[in-house]
Amino acid sequence: MHWAIVVALVIAIPIIVFPVVFIWYLNIKGIHETIREAHEQREIREAELRRKDRVRRLAGTGWQYIDAYLKSSVAEIKNRRSR
C-alpha cells in the first residue's frame, strides 16, 4: 500500500468509528437507565404491596371485634351510670 492510503485510513477510521461508538454508548446508557428505573419502580411497588398486606393482616386479626366489644362495653357502663 502506498503511504497516502495508510495515512488516509489512519485518519478516516477514527472519524468514522467515533460517532458509531458514541451513539452505541448513548443507546446502552439509555437502556441501562431504563432497566434501573424499572427495578426501582418494582421495588417501590413491592414495598407498597407488603405494607398493604401487613395492614390487611392486622385488620384480620380481630381488632374490629375487640373495638366493637370495647365500644359496646363502654356504652353499657354509661347506660348503667345514667340509670
CA 1 to chain centre: 58
Band of pLDDT at residue 57, cut at 50, 70 and 90: low
Q: What is the mean pLDDT of residues 43-58?
A: 77
For the full predicted model, state whether its pTM sits above 0.75.
Answer: no
> Average pLDDT for residues 32-36, to the nearest whole number?
94
What average pLDDT does the chain have? 82
Higher pLDDT, 65 or 3: 3
Sign of CA dihedral 18, 20, 22, 25: negative
* pLDDT of 46: 87
